[in-house]
Structure formats: structure tokens, C-alpha cells
Amino acid sequence: EKFPLKMVVGQINSVEDHPNADSLYLMKVNLGEKIGIKQVIAGLKKDLDPSVLLNRKAVFCVNMKPAKLRGELSEAMVFAADDHKNVALLDVEKSNIGDEVCFQGMENNSAEVTFDQFQKIKMVVKSGLVYFDNKKLSSKVEDIKVTGVMEGTRVY
């Protein structure tokens, strides 16, 4: 069974303010040897300080159609859980940069997806883990955890 997204562990190498948008960061992310360094635009500025993001590993969607956001190119997307009070990235500290992250029994898809298709996919936090259709999200070495958000929070 194919999951529509290709999800990969990346490490945030730099975090800067977006020159034309108050709520956005421009991040350079190392997604491993195959994919390399990509620019990711993330609407995390109101919730997460750059110091929390810098050098941190997180899970990224790498088959989104690249899009210009306020004049800057975003080549991938960072996954985060947002319960309208707190925002949390997904924890993948034990995993290696470039490792794929998959839902149980499902293969990632590498075909390009649009933002609209991406938004229809319902991933949720249950007991501190991430689920899609009752399938758990894991890398090769660990289940993907999320802390600091309420049960049932959506992951985008």
C-alpha cells in the first residue's frame, strides 16, 4: 500500500527570518546524501524560537511540488503538530539524516503532490506517537514521538 507522501529525516542547518513575511522562517535543511540541502519555509515563527530549531532533526515531506511563498522558494515541508496552544516538531533524534520515515505496512510515494493533496491527509497524535488510519509512524530505528501537544492533535 502506498502512502502519498515521501517522508525523510532532515537536520535544520540554518534558520532565518523570511524577508517578506512576519510569521515565516527560511530554513536550510540537510536531507541526506541523495536529496542534499533544500530550502524549507515554515510558519513556525510565532511558536518556536530559532534556537529550538537550529541543528534539530525533524521529519520533512520531500515530494511536495516546490512553491514560492512570498517570493522565496520552498522545496520541502516540515511536519509539526499544532493544537492551537502548542506546536511541536516530530522527534527523530536516533534516526539518521536522510532515513525514510513510514507508516506501518505502507510504502512512501515519490510522485509529486500538491499542497491541496497534502492537506487532505489526516495524521494525528495518539499517546505521543503519530498515526494515519491506525498505522504508526516509524523510522528504521524508532517510533516517531511528539511531545507537548494534546491527544488527537493533527500533524501537518
If one compares 55 and 156, the residue with the highest pLDDT of the two is 55
Predicted TM-score of the model (pTM): 0.96
Q: DSSP of 77-126, one letter per residue?
A: EE-EEE-SS-EEEPB-TTSPTT-EEEETT-EE--S-B-HHHHHT--EEEE
Does 115 have pLDDT greater than 90?
Answer: no
For 98-111, the pLDDT digits (tens) are 999 999 999 999 99
pLDDT of residue 1: 85
Sequence-distant (6+) residues with CB within 8 A of 94 are: 139, 141, 142
Q: Is the Cα dihedral 25, 5, 35, 67 positive or negative? A: negative
